[in-house]
Amino acid sequence: MSHIALVTGAGQGLGQHFCASLLRAGYAVVITDIELQAAKACALQLDPGGKSTLALQLDVGNKADFERVLVQVLEHFGGLHVVVNNAAVTKTTPLMQISPEEFDAVVCLNLRSVFLSCQVLGAHLAEAGYGRIINMASLAGQNGGTATGAHYAASKGAIVTLTKIFAKEFAAQGVTVNAIAPGPIDSAAVRSAVPAERLPGLLANIPVQRLGDADFLGDLIVQLARPEAYFTTGATWDVNGGLFMR
């Protein structure tokens, strides 16, 4: 049996690229999204025969939903080995105009989702004695954000810390936990957040003068998901064109 990977927020955007990369690498993939039809459409597009995918509805802010999805995955595939926490909402509201309600909503979805996933799915992986968890952070969480809102940046910065916390928790049980922090990627989300007239200015500020490649992010996820990646945990991998250097 091939290894089983689950991706959250996979009905559109980068999540679809990640699912495609995992499928090409030989994984069976659980495609989850809060919109079940989006997850099903992604599965149909990537795996028309339906042999290597399972589309499930998942509200990543709900712990009971993670518990339900875990049961469904185990019933369908018989195991789970890799979790990619990709689901997030991006807001660009100016700092002093962010309402308490909007702040809570963004942080709840972006950060709470990773926490709940690592609690529920991570605990299962640890009990099984093997697993790979990859959390999608962001350059915004490292440099305070540029085109994104403060609540988005704060939530992504917290994901970097949460990654370290769960990496320590699960390290002795065969489970690694890492994060990827992309800069501006050539994606619908970036092009939506950055108006066309501002794009040349954005590119001019990126040392490599180009947007990042979504498929490369997928390939990096595949590398971190390999059994041989056991010695890499608690790390945040920068993919930002030179915008943030350690």
List active site positions: 152
Give the CA-trace dihedral at 175, 81, 62, 71, to 10 degrees. -130
- Torsional sign, CA 48, 33, 76, 227: positive
Q: Which residue is listed with tokens 């066309």?
A: 196
Element (H, E) at 57: strand 53-57
SS3 state of residue 31: strand
Helix, strand and coil in the chain, % to nearest 5: 50, 15, 30
Q: Which residue is listed with tokens 């040349």?
A: 200
